[in-house]
Amino acid sequence: MKIAETPAGVEGPGFFATSFDKVIGMARANSLWPLPFATSCCGIEFMATMGSHYDFGRFGAERLSFSPRQADVLMVMGTIAKKMAPVVRQVYEQMAEPRWVMAVGACACSGGIFDTYSVLQGIDEIIPVDVYVPGCPPRPEQIIDGFMIIQDLATNESLRRRNTDEYKHLLAKYEIA
Ligand code: SF4
């Protein structure tokens, strides 16, 4: 069984050569540890995604991390009340680079049906988001699809991206040091 795509490189009898970026990208993409920040119904859908039928472990992501410092992907799933927003942000700030963020479901993406004074109208008001997964709730297939996009980002990200002015500018917009 083919477990991971071999990165592009040069091969011949007894050798294979590629770039460091590509090896790191492949390793990262296939061992992403998610931090499930589940506050409501979308979290239940994630539980289904973790079950044997959908088997999230196929993507090397079965090891959930409840410590931000050991997590690679913040998966925000559910309604985020404005009172909860500083907690989401603190969790994000405690994650080490490189870190990715998925907004799972309409509530995390945009506040969903809760267009009220007390609900954050999308987590991208407080932290940068890499992938938005629509739906109320999204099906496990959609969550997996969003995760595979994160895998693509991790595979193809330059090792220097986090030091670029563009990335620093993005964090500065959110006033994240
Ligand atoms: S998007 Fe729908 S299913 Fe998900 S947390 Fe909001 S109300 Fe619940």
Q: What are the residue ranges spanned by the domains of the chain?
A: 33-155+163-173
34: CA distance to ligand 1 center in Å?
Answer: 19
Q: How far apart are the first and last CA of the chain?
A: 43
**Could you tell me what percent of the chain has a pLDDT over 70?**
99
Cβ atoms of residues 75 and 36 within 8 Å: yes
In sequence order, what are the beta bridge partners of 16? 11
Residue 4 has pLDDT above 90, yes or no: no
Mean pLDDT calculated for residue range 63-68: 94
Peptide bond preceding 98: is omega within 30 degrees of 0, i.e. cis? yes
Q: Which atom of ligand 1 is nearest to the CA of 39?
A: 5
Residue 33's pLDDT band (cuts 50, 70, 90): very high
Q: Which atom of ligand 1 is nearest to the CA of 42?
A: 4
- Dist CA 82 CA 86 (whole Å): 8
107: CA distance to ligand 1 center in Å?
Answer: 6
**Kind and range of the H or E run holding 22:** helix 20-29
HSE at residue 149, side-chain half, CA atoms within 13 A, is 15
Cβ atoms of residues 74 and 92 within 8 Å: yes
Q: Is 39 in the pocket of ligand 1 (CB under 6 A)?
A: no
- Dist CA 92 CA 107 (whole Å): 18
Q: Which architecture does CATH list for 33-155+163-173? A: 3-Layer(aba) Sandwich (3.40)
- Dist CA 7 CA 5 (whole Å): 6
- Dist CA 75 CA 106 (whole Å): 13
Largest Cα span, the chain: 65
pLDDT digits (tens, 9 = 90+) for 143-159: 999 999 999 999 999 99
pLDDT of residue 8: 87
For residue 50, the SS3 value is helix
* Cβ density class 68-88: b for 16+ within 10 Å, e for less: beebbbbbbbbbbeeebbeeb
pLDDT digits (tens, 9 = 90+) for 75-103: 999 999 999 999 999 999 999 999 999 99
Name which of 126, 148, 127, 144 is nearest 135 in CA terms.
144
User: CB 18: neighbour CB atoms within 10 A?
Assistant: 14
